[in-house]
Structure 1
Amino acid sequence: MGFARFLAVRNCRRNFSRTVALGVVTAMLSLTLFGGSLVVLSLQNGLTRFQARLGADVLVLPKDAQADGGLEGVLVQGRPLHFYMDASRLAALSSLPGVASAAPQFFLTSANAGCCSVAVQLIGFDPATDFTIQPWIRESYADDVGDGDIVVGSGISVPEDKTLKFYNTPCRVVARLSPTGTGMDTAVYMNMTTIRAMMRRAAELDFAAFQGIEPEQAISAVLIRTAPDFSPEAVAEAIGAAYPDLSAKPAHGMVRSVEAGLGGVTGTVGVLLFFVWLLCVGLLALAFQMVFSERRREFAVLLISGARRSILTRIALIEALIIASFGAAGGVFAGAFVLLPFAALLKDSFARPYLLPDASNIALLAAGAFGVAVLSAALAALWTVRRMDVMLREDM
């Protein structure tokens, strides 16, 4: 084994350009395997976190809100939107059969102007009834969110003085939420008193979109938890029949819509991975065959000198493993360098929940991509060695 290793290392060094070329093919394979697997796992991770954060059974919005994408536009894609219905609808919906609890939310969009620190989605909730946002807040902040306090998503930068301004209303950042991989990471959360005061200030600043609306008499959405003996579909249908101007949908319908889009993306990535694997293994097999064919005389001399055929096999396999190991490692590092820093851009391009897995899972993906790439190169080399052995027997 020592003699075979010595010759393999020497051959790799002596034919550096050939070694690099084969390493690049292996790097392409490991890069694609690692990158594609990371994208698929991040999409699945984002969908799981989105399901956990949604926290409601039925979502009720004004019917015209659906034209702009509704809650999916706000929560999944992170599009700042605002739409309103009469606040009296909350009490009416709460009294319907099958409604165990109902919580209002109030949407306001900050402006890309000097009166606002950043243009984002502002979401107001009622601390007395909320069951979706506050459990999330409790993970990082134990106190109540008071008047003038805000909680920001993980994608929002917080200045050193922990103060953000919206419509000339300074607010104190009391916590930052854990990431979800959705549009919820770029939103700002506050209680109803704070967000309604902001809306009044926006109207005073002549923002036309918020004039003519009385904040105290408006809400944007109602999130409902159904009673145990009622299905979300039945409650949503009853709300639609009673209030034709409202859009009521089971929350899992939004999740299924997101999941359907996710299935298309992951299916495409899976097919791409398979074909890239076939292409790279084929290229490696062809490259090794060309390399070993050029070295038939070298191997024949070794056989004549008394070397066993098993030594030739070891030399070829060790060369392949050395080349593949360096190439696969380079491909994995390149994938990490490209994909990890730009996760936010990928989330925006997919318009789907996208959340990177934790470091341990990323390390497992990297190890798996490395192993598959090296094993694929070894199999391609082994196939070539067997063909070379047949040719050597014919020559001898």
Structure 2
Amino acid sequence: MTRPRAPRFLLLRLAAQNVGRRLLRSLFLGLAVMIAVGVGFSGSVLGWTFRHGVVTSFSRMGADLVIVPQGALVNITSTLLTVQPTDLDLDESLGAVLRALPGVAKVAPQRLVRAGAEGRAINLIAYDPAQDFTVQPWLPAGQPTPSDPSSLLVGARGGEKPGDALTICGRTLIIAGRLSQTGVGPLDESLFISFAGLDALAAAARGSRPASSTRQGGPHEHHEHHGAQECLPDLAPGRVTAFLIQLAPDASPIQARFAIGQIPGVKIVVGNPVLTAARQSLGALLWGVTAFAGLLLLSLLFVVSLLFSAIVQERFREIGMLRAMGARPGQIVSLTLMEAVLLTGLGSVIGVGFGFLLIFVSARSLGAYFDSLGAPFEGPSDAFVLAAATLSLCCGVLLGVLGALVAGRHATRLDPYRMIQMESAP
């Protein structure tokens, strides 16, 4: 039972001896793999961080277009981030129509209502956390996005702070986060709730509204109706105040506005065209960086393949003797692959550690610089970092295996006698 295992250990021993025979060359090859894996790993993590920070910064600059009801009076500066109070609204189903239009990347519905909370009037803006791209980016770095429908976000000028409780329509809501200062009044002075939370409040308001408030009557009945309205007005379901739109990187703003303009009953508010063009260019730049990283890996594959071709060629006489002594072609290929795994595997492991060092140095230097500019610099989750490290390590080993496989298979196709007669490299 132990006889089949002996050749494997013999091949592994030979591979280790071959690695140590040309120590300087092995060190340079391992160093190349280490640098490639380290730069690839740290580049993926830092690239995600930069992209997240830049995308968040552009999201903080507002939407490219805002769709409001025809006849609504809006302030262009304010509507880039959120809606303004208006008695007009749109059907929620219009969002599906907008998403289907060419050039539209994101559609974020919002609904603003006037509500009463603990004896004072507030602006309550409902948003969809899954589709929002203008409100949640203003959360401070590291603060998670609230997922509980009974939670609220408060603008920078609001009197509440995270952890405070606010009673609306008999329901106690918790302030889950406080947005950073934007300089836009409607966003800094409002409270934000999810559409699910607003539906729950509307149901509570309908339950607390006296039955007599639905009848036309005397002053007492009107006072009861007015008291119910201080909590929350009677909201029609499926209505929104506006849709905030972000265009795709390759979209033409003019064509997008023309397509949206064919929808009756809406008005288009245009954001800053300079910011739109800059954000769209960012998307093309990120794709270019990804393509460059792919070409870097491809060039590393060629380098590793060339080096192992030279390694195999200088051992033609040795490999020919092994073949003449009965070594099978598969064993010759296995010997080359084991040597590649030893070199690239060790280089990849050290490369991952080198990548962590690069990330640490960048976080200490670039992170402080981004903070001084007020731009977010928040790294990805631990799961993403672990996946990037594992993928980089596997790619480093795989490149070595592929390069050695090409060279090893070429050696097995030659005649053993001719290989013995060949001159080995000095």
Contact 1:61 1:222 (C-alpha < 8 Å) held by counterparts:
no
Matches within 5 A, 1:1-396: 1-43=8-50, 45-46=52-53, 94-95=85-86, 97-98=88-89, 100-101=111-112, 128-129=122-123, 131=125, 132=135, 220-223=184-187, 228=240, 230-232=242-244, 249=270, 259-343=279-363, 345=366, 348=370, 355-393=378-416, 394-395=418-419
Post-superposition offset of 1:391: 3.8
TM-aligned CA distance change 1:335 to 1:18, over 3 Å: same
Post-superposition offset of 1:334: 1.5
Question: Within 1, Cα distance between the matches of 2:330 and 2:279?
Answer: 52
Q: Which structure exhibits the higher relative contact order, with contacts defined as CA atoms closer than 8 Å and separated by 6 or more residues?
A: 1
TM-aligned CA distance change 1:352 to 1:40, over 3 Å: farther
Quick one: which amino acid aligns to residue 395 of structure 1? M
Post-superposition offset of 1:307: 3.0
Post-superposition offset of 1:6: 1.0
Question: Within 2, Cα distance between the matches of 1:265 and 1:17?
Answer: 39
Post-superposition offset of 1:37: 2.7
Question: Within 2, Cα distance between the matches of 1:351 and 1:273?
Answer: 29
Question: Within 2, Cα distance between the matches of 1:357 and 1:284?
Answer: 31
Once the two structures are superposed, residues 176-232 of structure 1 have per-residue CA deviations (whole angstroms, 9 ceiling, x without a partner) of: 979xxxxx8xx569xxxxxxxxxxxxxxxxxxxxxxxxxxxxx74434999527545
Question: Within 1, Cα distance between the matches of 2:348 and 2:34?
Answer: 5
Q: Secondary structure at the match of 1:129?
A: strand
Contact 2:88 2:241 (C-alpha < 8 Å) held by counterparts:
no
TM-aligned CA distance change 1:359 to 1:256, over 3 Å: farther
Question: Within 2, Cα distance between the matches of 1:146 and 1:229?
Answer: 22
Structure 1 residue runs of 5 or longer lacking an equivalent are 73-89, 104-125, 153-174, 179-183, 190-218, 238-246
| Identical columns (%) | 18
TM-aligned CA distance change 1:151 to 1:383, over 3 Å: farther
Question: Within 2, Cα distance between the matches of 1:62 and 1:293?
Answer: 70
TM-score normalised by L of structure 2: 0.51
Contact 1:296 1:392 (C-alpha < 8 Å) held by counterparts:
no
**How many pairs align?**
281
Post-superposition offset of 1:42: 3.3
Structure 2 residue runs of 5 or longer lacking an equivalent are 1-7, 68-73, 91-110, 115-119, 126-134, 163-174, 193-237, 246-256, 262-267, 421-426
For the aligned residues, what is the CA RMSD?
5.2
TM-aligned CA distance change 1:232 to 1:299, over 3 Å: closer
Post-superposition offset of 1:352: 7.8
TM-aligned CA distance change 1:378 to 1:177, over 3 Å: farther
Contact 1:61 1:248 (C-alpha < 8 Å) held by counterparts:
no
Q: Secondary structure at the match of 2:112?
A: strand
TM-aligned CA distance change 1:269 to 1:145, over 3 Å: closer
Question: Within 2, Cα distance between the matches of 1:144 and 1:221?
Answer: 12
Contact 2:337 2:401 (C-alpha < 8 Å) held by counterparts:
yes
Contact 1:42 1:354 (C-alpha < 8 Å) held by counterparts:
yes
Question: Within 2, Cα distance between the matches of 1:296 and 1:321?
Answer: 20
Quick one: which amino acid aligns to residue 385 of structure 1? G
